[in-house]
Amino acid sequence: MSKTIVVPIDGSECALDAIDFAAELVRSEDDKIILLTVVGNKPVPKELRHYLEVEHVKGPPNKEYDQRIGSGILDEGKQRLLNHDIHHFETFIERGDPAELIAATANQQAADMIVIGSRGLGNISGLVFGSVSNKVNHLAGCKVITVNQGAA
């Protein structure tokens, strides 16, 4: 029986570790990984600013902006999957609340599980308001596996 695994990524080390962990769960060619990046409504983290400068992306967020940022993040994730010899995957770029969109994507894709990093590129507000991974755990209608950095 095939399974579908949603792996939300944001370019952080924890997200990359989640990709590695999800790749270990793939047992057949019918299994599918969905890489999802959510471009939030918050300022761009410093880790992505250099990428934007190199790619000459300027101005306020718009569809092109979302695609350029999301594509850069997804390219790294796709390469990570290919390094694990995983070729059956899809990618999505969304804008909005990360936790809500991760849970909604898993639901829309009839995912069996979500594999998410415990800490992404978010700021200190995650400590006060709760992390995205914690919110996903409460919103998701499927299994959620949270991966700590270095755990894969």
For residue 42, the number of C-alpha atoms closer than 13 Å in the C-beta half-sphere is 13
CATH architecture of 4-147: 3-Layer(aba) Sandwich (3.40)
Query: What is the rounded CA–CA span in Å between residue 57 and residue 78?
Result: 22
Tokens matching residue 3: 């399974």
Phi, psi of 54, deg, nearest 5: -65, -40
For position 129, what pLDDT does the model report?
39
| Region of poorest pLDDT, from 8-12, 62-66, 75-79, 98-102 | 62-66
Please say if the pLDDT value at position 84 is more than 50: yes
Residue with tokens 């190199």: 54
For position 43, what pLDDT does the model report?
56
Please say if the pLDDT value at position 61 is more than 60: no
Contact 96, 105 (CB under 8 A): no
For position 21, what pLDDT does the model report?
96
